[in-house]
């Protein structure tokens, strides 16, 4: 189907829906690399005008990637909830934007229609929105999940404690863990990106984190972010696995490049739930995504990178994860060139995921060869905090010494909670108070060398 609009005496024609979506996207280096961008600001605006008139129903009729060729497309179409879609089924993309911004479209309403919204619909409407629109609507979307604590409550912000080490050294990881806990971080998850994929190296990481958790009765969850097949093997061998992690993407070919299938994710999900380790809930999956992953795998099918990213959220919501986050600036400037593009992408990702019912955090990050700096990250982090972000990363000094990129620190979580009056997960916050780490108000207390967490470090297995 041809989509077109006329501006003055100039007619603009777009040969199919994926071309229209790509041309309507805000400029970014990844789409330019793929040859998908609008040729001018005028063509981009023409595409947005045409996109605004597209009925939402059209996205159920015209697949961007053929149904027969892509299991993510099949998942999106086969799982679509027609009943939930009914209240908005008469809208165009432009009407949908206006409806989302209405005061009467509240959290309860958005939760009800969420199963009827496809990723392509979410991506399309985001392309018509200003940054403030993305923030306003995302703020209204509430996605609450539970394992050993409750994540995503309004007025709360969690932090993933990320104690990575370039050699998986137990002592170094344990020290970073305790550092983060004493800053009140870790209520999202204590998650290690390991340097090794050997079970003989990884199993002690799970065991050390679990021993610390049990010894101090910490209402938190842990994760080792290795490949899903390794985690399934670890479960089979009796390792204390809480959450199962996997990077996912929005096309079958990209997931193939990760060594992942939908059936494999289902196997991992079922294996983790069979352990029954959660005390408050059974949201057992942890997913990471990022704009540009499909293009970097030459698996984007001519679809713009933000729409590909939104399609990954359809995969995520199928498995009802505890956590999902976009690693927004990690892939590099080939896909998001500078701070402006990273900021826009982070707001888009958060909006689309929350609109689709996915518990969304963000690794507010950049690589050192991008045209970005920590001030850009402060801006994005603050905007996302206003937008109701589920969680951020907490990394010692904001500098990941294993993955070699710049992210956010334990102090950044303190900053966001202070300026936006946000709290930690309630169960975790109560524990911090019991442990004399924070005041009942949530503020940190002064910690001396005799604090029981610091005295525990020499006694952790392998961490002395």
Q: Which residues are annotated as a binding site?
A: 160-162, 193-194, 246, 288, 296, 363, 402
The span from the CA of 229 to the CA of 52, in Å, is: 43
68, with CB counted inside 10 A (0-12, 13-18, 19+), is exposed
Go through the chain and tell me how many residues it has. Answer: 464
DSSP 396-414: GGGEETTTTEE---HHHHH
Find out whether 328 and 393 touch, Cβ atoms under 8 Å.
no
Tokens for 244, please give them.
Answer: 């199962």
Report CA-CA distances (Å) from 430 to 28, 284, 296, 439, 440: 43, 23, 43, 10, 8
| Residue numbers belonging to the annotated binding site for adenosylcob(III)alamin | 194, 246, 296, 402
Residue 423 gets which letter from DSSP? B
Query: Which tokens in the block code for residue 419?
Result: 């300026």
Could you give the C-alpha distances from 263 to 78, 254, 272, 372, in angstroms and in order? Answer: 15, 15, 14, 38
The helix/strand/coil state of 311 is: helix
What kind and span of H or E run contains 190? strand 189-192
DSSP assignment letter at 88: G
Radius of gyration of the chain (CA): 22
Which residues on adjacent β-strands are paired with residue 191?
223
Main-chain phi, psi angles of 260, to 5 degrees? -130, 140
Quote helix, strand, coil % in the chain, to nearest 5.
45, 15, 40
Binding residues for substrate: 160-162, 193, 288, 363
Within 8 A by CB and 6+ apart from 381, the residues are 362, 364, 392, 408, 412, 416
Residue for token pair 């790509």: 22
How far is Cα of residue 16 from the mean position of the Cα atoms in its chain? 29
Enclosing H/E stretch for 223:
strand 222-224
316 in Cβ contact with 284 (< 8 Å): no
> To the nearest 10°, the Cα dihedral for 385, 388, 389, 392?
40
């Amino acid at each position: 189907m041809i989509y077109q609009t006329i501006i003055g005496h100039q007619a603009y024609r777009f040969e199919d829906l994926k071309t229209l979506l790509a041309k309507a996207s805000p400029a970014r280096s990844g789409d330019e690399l793929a040859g998908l961008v609008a040729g001018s600001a005028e063509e981009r605006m023409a595409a947005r005008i045409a996109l605004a008139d597209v009925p939402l129903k059209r996205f159920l009729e015209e697949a961007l990637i053929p149904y027969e060729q892509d299991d993510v497309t099949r998942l999106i179409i086969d799982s679509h909830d027609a009943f939930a879609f009914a209240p908005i089924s008469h809208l165009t993309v432009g009407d949908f934007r206006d409806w989302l911004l209405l005061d009467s479209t509240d959290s309860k309403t958005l939760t009800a229609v969420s199963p009827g919204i496809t990723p392509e619909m979410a991506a399309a409407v985001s392309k018509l929105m200003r940054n403030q629109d993305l923030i306003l609507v995302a703020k209204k979307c509430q996605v609450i999940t539970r394992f050993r604590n409750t994540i995503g409550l309004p007025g709360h912000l969690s932090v993933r404690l990320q104690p990575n080490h370039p050699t998986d050294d137990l002592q170094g990881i344990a020290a970073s863990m305790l550092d983060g806990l004493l800053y009140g971080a870790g209520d999202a998850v204590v998650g290690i990106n390991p340097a090794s994929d050997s079970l003989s190296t990884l199993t002690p990481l799970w065991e050390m984190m679990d021993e610390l958790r049990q010894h101090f009765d910490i209402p938190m969850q842990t994760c080792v972010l290795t490949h899903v097949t390794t985690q399934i093997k670890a479960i089979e061998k009796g390792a204390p696995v809480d959450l199962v992690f996997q990077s996912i993407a929005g096309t079958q070919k990209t997931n193939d490049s990760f060594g992942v299938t939908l059936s494999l994710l289902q196997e991992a999900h079922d294996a983790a739930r069979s352990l029954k380790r959660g005390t408050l809930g059974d949201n057992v999956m942890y997913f990471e995504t990022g704009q540009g992953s499909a293009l970097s795998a030459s698996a984007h099918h001519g679809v713009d990178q933000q729409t590909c990213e939104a399609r990954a959220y359809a995969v995520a919501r199928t498995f009802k994860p505890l956590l999902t986050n976009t690693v927004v600036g990690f892939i590099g400037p080939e896909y998001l060139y500078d701070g402006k593009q990273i900021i826009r992408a982070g707001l888009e990702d958060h909006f689309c995921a929350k609109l689709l019912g996915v518990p969304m955090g963000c690794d507010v990050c950049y690589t050192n060869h991008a045209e970005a700096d920590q001030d850009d990250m402060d801006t994005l982090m603050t905007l996302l905090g206003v937008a109701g972000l589920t969680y951020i990363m907490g990394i010692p000094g904001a500098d990941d010494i294993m993955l070699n990129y710049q992210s956010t620190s334990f102090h950044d979580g303190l900053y966001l909670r202070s300026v936006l009056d946000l709290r930690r997960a309630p169960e975790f916050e109560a524990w911090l108070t019991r442990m004399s780490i924070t005041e009942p108000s949530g503020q940190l207390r002064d910690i001396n060398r005799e604090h029981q967490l610091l005295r525990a470090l020499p006694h952790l297995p392998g961490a002395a």
